[in-house]
């Protein structure tokens, strides 16, 4: 394929798309706004006017012969927004190939075509809890409306947009749910199949109202109706029995159970209700009540019937047994004899009574050796600023009893993208959840990306676990959208919801699928402690192995989304509010005065390099903020002790893994930064990780590099479940005997802006709280011989730090001239090290699956190179010098592949092989 021609074609297409966008925008403004009460067949005014503009633009395009070109360009736009299908990657690759010849050095100058948004636009994205659900859904994904090649007006077909996929369908192909939301047939069927797999979602619902799944619903295939009826019978059965044949495991309805034996309707296997294995003759020794019968038999000399093998109680006479006829077998086990039973203790009488509870008790289950798992996930807790040192209960119950993973990182230092990556085992560029709010992130984006049916709790339930969650799940999980759809995969929940997620004294919790409840004046830490205890008790009392996630908001800033109308300038984020009983602690404690705390000289690049030094009052405020964070964490420390004691009291502490971590880190004055996260420095990306449990070394330290992407694979391995082939991470070496593929790198990435939290003047000293163009890619490498961080920003500035000599990341080694490029680093020059790091980042910035774990295989498919140390061999110098360099085409607030510069994919692998460069 002619690569220069491809580049020219792509440029022409982009220019045409831009021209069409300007035309459509003009037409949208030209169409009068609809008055109140206008009927647009279920579409809101904005969408209606946009569709009208598309129709007018299509008619104009037809008269100029441009209709086919418009269709092609819209397809290109959709693929770019979606984050890169085959077409999108190919276009980017073509551009990369062209840039090979033109870009052999690093562009360090800021670009002029950087996207800009003012503070008002950013604040307008905050959750508005007063919105109706319909308005919220429209706002969640304004860019995802897809319009096919528009037909002329005389061929116009009335359409509706599916709430779930956002595609347009003819109105007669749309199912209207009881809540009046529109669903296309594929989304309806997918919703039903998801509910069938997950009891917590059954029956299928929209906005909390059950969707009719019966013969009146013509959108549902007959076989799916039958499957749904069978599942309804299963879920409505309190004490369930499943076929003991592991290859079958079919639910056995009550009508197929008789005399303690369940007969499978699929494979005809007979299952014993006591031991849940294949039916057998005689008394079941796994049943505790039967064991007591055997004990009584030994004490009183009872014998078994030769035919049925059951125990026969001897009430009088000799020990001779004669079998007469089958009808008498029913009385063989325990002959009813009031004259005999009065001689026994009360508990033994209960065994002998024909009406005892054992005859009606639910079947016992066996965990099959599976271990329980509890995950405590804090919010914004640092690993670098010593917060863990102020948590004595965490140290006593988890750190001293388990393993500390001291090189654990998040790949994206902000809440929602980090949490989605954690629960899915995928890099944010593969989930495409890259922000805390729509359109690029939050719970609505998580749902629209299809992840609600494809994350850890769903997989654990498939593996036989009961799953529970309390606390914060995702951002933009609100009082309006909590049930549309409900988070899948959970057996029991008590979620925190916006706008009360970070309101310490007015939190909003929502139990299972019940309506949300605001708890005015009640501290969120006391509530989550209560709910954690209740859910853990429910998990312990059930018969399956369990996974319980507890996610307090401490030590996150206090956030008030409902600021008073008379005081619009009141700060959105303030110092965290501890429990009253902890508010006096740590008097005089200050932010650690490390070398990078409020340094005399500026550091970093982009907007960070422009920060002014903090004055004394700002530093004092940071110290207050730091103490409040430590105080807020004391509520979490109490939860740690409560959980371990509850497990110990239940006798299962030694059979339970307890994992402790945070979604991301935090900075307070380092590099002159106001309170916050979202940067690539270690303060923000390095997070705590401690694990205790069966087989885990006590009080040990693990130096291997681990990331949040590794946690979902790790938990599945601990649960004895199969790992997924599409994971971007690999199991962490929790047990000393485990062999895992380890790596030295972390793929760091971030999109959007940076928010200053608190009240110390923001980024410019005058209250400007939002730093634009904080989009960057980075690679963090930790090895016993080197410790590096390299990043490329969307304005094409770069930075490189050697943390062995500069742990505060104050002195960038990125070469700006030949002298600095030839300075010594790792036994060679900074230029040679940088060439390797840049090539590694080029692979990691768009990696998928095993490529994220073993990226050097893409650069060296013939093997021999598995680390930076291997790659630094002098024979590879020319190869790395000629590589395409990492750059951005523009700054964006989300993952848009056409803005990301050169990409690496399967199409591009051949261009990176050594023999093509020699």
Rg value, the chain, Cα? 32
| Residue 565 contacts residue 359 (beta carbons within 8 Å) | no
- Residue 257 pairs with which residues in a beta bridge? 262
Q: Which long-range contacts (CB under 8 A, 24 or more apart) does 185-194 make?
A: 185/219, 187/162, 187/163, 188/219, 188/220, 189/219, 189/220, 189/221, 189/224, 190/164, 190/453, 191/164, 191/485, 192/220, 192/224, 192/228, 193/224, 194/452, 194/453, 194/485, 194/488
From CA 801, how far away is CA 767, in angstroms rounded?
Answer: 30
From CA 632, how far away is CA 586, in angstroms rounded?
Answer: 11
| Residue 440 contacts residue 476 (beta carbons within 8 Å) | no
From CA 609, how far away is CA 626, in angstroms rounded?
Answer: 24
- Candidates 800, 587, 771; CA nearest to 674 is 771
- Candidates 127, 130, 142; CA nearest to 47 is 142
User: Is the torsion defined by CA of 623, 625, 626, 628 positive or negative?
Assistant: positive
Q: Which residues, at least 6 apart from 599, have a Cβ–Cβ distance to it below 8 Å?
A: 613, 671, 672, 808, 810
Q: What is the DSSP string of 576-602?
A: ----GGGTT-STT------TTBS-SS-
Active site residues: 415
CA atoms within 13 A on the CB side of 154: 0
From CA 685, how far away is CA 214, in angstroms rounded?
Answer: 50
In this structure, what token pair is assigned to residue 779? 């690679």
From CA 559, how far away is CA 257, in angstroms rounded?
Answer: 55
- Residue 656 pairs with which residues in a beta bridge? 372
From CA 237, how far away is CA 242, in angstroms rounded?
Answer: 12
Chain centroid to CA 466: how far? 18
From CA 269, how far away is CA 121, in angstroms rounded?
Answer: 64
847, burial (CB in 10 Å: exposed 0-12, middle 13-18, buried 19+)? buried
What are residue 595's phi and psi, to 5 degrees?
Answer: -60, -30
From CA 612, how far away is CA 627, in angstroms rounded?
Answer: 24
What are residue 467's phi and psi, to 5 degrees?
Answer: -130, 140
From CA 173, how far away is CA 181, in angstroms rounded?
Answer: 13
> Could you tell me the CA-to-CA distances from 79 to 4, 24, 306, 810, 846 in Å, in that order?
22, 19, 74, 40, 15
For the chain, how many residues are written? 918
From CA 276, how far away is CA 363, in angstroms rounded?
Answer: 7
| Residue 821 contacts residue 830 (beta carbons within 8 Å) | yes
SS3 category, 698: coil
In this structure, what token pair is assigned to residue 69? 């070109």
- Residue 573 pairs with which residues in a beta bridge? 559
DSSP state of 453: G
- Candidates 199, 211, 125; CA nearest to 163 is 211
């Amino acid at each position: 394929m002619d690569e220069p021609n491809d580049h020219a074609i792509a440029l022409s297409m982009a220019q045409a798309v831009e021209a069409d966008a300007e035309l459509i925008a003009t037409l949208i403004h030209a169409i009068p706004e609809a008055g109140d009460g206008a009927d647009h067949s279920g579409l809101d005014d904005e969408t209606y006017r946009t569709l009208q503009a598309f129709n007018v633009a299509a008619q104009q395009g037809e008269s100029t012969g441009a209709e086919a070109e418009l269709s092609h360009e819209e397809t290109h736009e959709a693929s770019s927004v979606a984050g890169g299908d085959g077409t999108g990657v190919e276009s980017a690759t073509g551009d990369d190939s062209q840039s090979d010849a033109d870009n052999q050095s690093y562009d360090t100058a800021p670009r002029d075509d950087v996207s800009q948004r003012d503070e008002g636009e950013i604040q307008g994205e905050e959750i508005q809890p007063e919105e109706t659900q319909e308005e919220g859904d429209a706002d969640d994904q304004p860019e995802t409306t897809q319009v096919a090649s528009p037909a002329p007006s005389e061929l116009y077909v009335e359409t509706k947009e599916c709430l779930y996929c956002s595609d347009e369908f003819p109105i007669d192909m749309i199912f209207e749910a009881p809540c009046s939301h529109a669903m296309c047939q594929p989304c309806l069927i997918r919703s039903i199949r998801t509910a069938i797999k997950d009891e917590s979602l059954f029956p299928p619902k929209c906005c909390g109202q059950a969707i009719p799944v019966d013969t009146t619903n013509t959108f549902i295939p007959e076989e799916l109706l039958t499957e749904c009826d069978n599942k309804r019978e299963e879920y409505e059965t309190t004490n369930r029995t499943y076929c003991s044949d592991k290859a079958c495991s079919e639910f056995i309805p009550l009508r197929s159970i008789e005399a303690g034996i369940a007969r499978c309707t699929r494979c005809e296997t007979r299952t014993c209700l006591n031991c849940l294995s294949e039916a057998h003759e005689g008394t079941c020794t796994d049943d505790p009540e039967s064991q007591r019968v055997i004990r009584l038999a030994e004490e009183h000399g009872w014998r078994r019937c030769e035919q049925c093998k059951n125990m026969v109680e001897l009430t009088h006479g000799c020990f001779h047994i004669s079998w007469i006829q089958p009808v008498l077998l029913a009385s063989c086990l325990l002959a009813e004899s009031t004259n005999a039973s009065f001689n026994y203790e009360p508990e033994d009488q209960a065994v002998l009574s024909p009406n005892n509870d054992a005859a009606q008790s639910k079947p016992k289950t066996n965990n099959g050796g599976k271990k329980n798992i509890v995950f405590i996930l804090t919010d914004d807790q640092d690993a670098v600023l010593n917060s863990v040192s102020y948590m004595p209960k965490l140290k006593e119950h988890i750190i001293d009893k388990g393993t500390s993973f001291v090189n654990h990182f998040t790949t994206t230092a902000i809440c929602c993208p980090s949490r989605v990556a954690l629960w899915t085992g995928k890099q944010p560029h593969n989930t495409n959840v890259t922000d805390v709010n729509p359109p690029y992130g939050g719970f609505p984006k998580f749902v629209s990306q299809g992840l609600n049916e494809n994350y850890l709790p769903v997989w654990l339930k498939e593996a036989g676990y009961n799953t529970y969650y309390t606390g914060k799940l995702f951002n933009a999980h609100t009082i309006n959208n909590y049930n549309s759809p409900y988070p899948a995969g959970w057996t029991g929940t008590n979620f925190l919801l916006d706008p009360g997620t970070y309101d310490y004294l007015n939190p909003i919790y929502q139990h299972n699928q019940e309506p949300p409840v605001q708890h005015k004046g009640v501290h969120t830490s006391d509530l989550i402690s209560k709910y954690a205890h209740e859910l853990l008790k429910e998990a312990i009392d059930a018969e399956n192995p369990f996974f319980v996630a507890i996610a307090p908001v401490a030590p996150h800033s206090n956030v008030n989304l409902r600021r008073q109308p008379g005081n619009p300038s009141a700060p959105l984020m303030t110092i965290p509010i501890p429990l009253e009983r902890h508010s006096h602690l740590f008097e005089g404690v200050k932010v650690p005065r490390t070398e990078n705390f409020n340094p005399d000289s500026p550091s970093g690049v982009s907007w960070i390099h422009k920060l002014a030094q903090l004055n004394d009052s700002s530093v004092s405020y940071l110290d207050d903020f730091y103490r409040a964070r430590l105080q807020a964490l004391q509520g979490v420390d109490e939860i740690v002790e409560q959980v371990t004691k509850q497990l110990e009291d239940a006798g299962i502490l030694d059979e339970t893994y307890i994992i402790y971590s945070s979604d991301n880190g935090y900075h307070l004055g380092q590099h002159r930064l106001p309170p916050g996260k979202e940067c690539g420095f270690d303060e923000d990306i390095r997070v705590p990780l401690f694990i205790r449990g069966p087989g885990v070394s006590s009080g040990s330290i693990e130096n291997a590099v681990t990331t949040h992407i590794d946690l979902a694979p790790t938990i599945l391995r601990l649960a004895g479940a199969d790992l997924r082939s599409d994971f971007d991470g690999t199991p962490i070496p929790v047990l000393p005997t485990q062999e895992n593929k380890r790596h030295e790198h972390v793929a760091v990435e971030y999109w959007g802006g940076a928010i200053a939290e608190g009240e110390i003047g923001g980024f410019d000293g005058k209250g400007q709280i939002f730093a634009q163009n904080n989009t960057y890619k980075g690679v963090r490498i930790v090895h016993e011989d080197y410790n590096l961080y390299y990043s490329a920003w969307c304005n094409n500035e770069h930075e490189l730090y050697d943390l062995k000599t500069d742990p505060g990341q104050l002195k960038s080694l990125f070469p700006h001239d030949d002298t600095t490029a030839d300075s010594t680093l790792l036994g060679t020059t900074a230029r040679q090290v940088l060439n390797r790091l840049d090539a590694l980042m080029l692979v990691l910035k768009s990696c998928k699956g095993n490529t994220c774990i073993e990226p050097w295989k893409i650069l060296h498919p013939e093997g021999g190179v598995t680390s930076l140390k291997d790659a630094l061999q002098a024979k590879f110098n020319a190869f790395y010098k000629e590589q395409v360099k990492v750059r951005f085409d523009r700054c964006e607030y989300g993952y848009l592949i056409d803005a990301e510069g050169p990409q690496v994919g399967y199409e591009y692998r051949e261009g990176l092989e050594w023999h093509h460069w020699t």
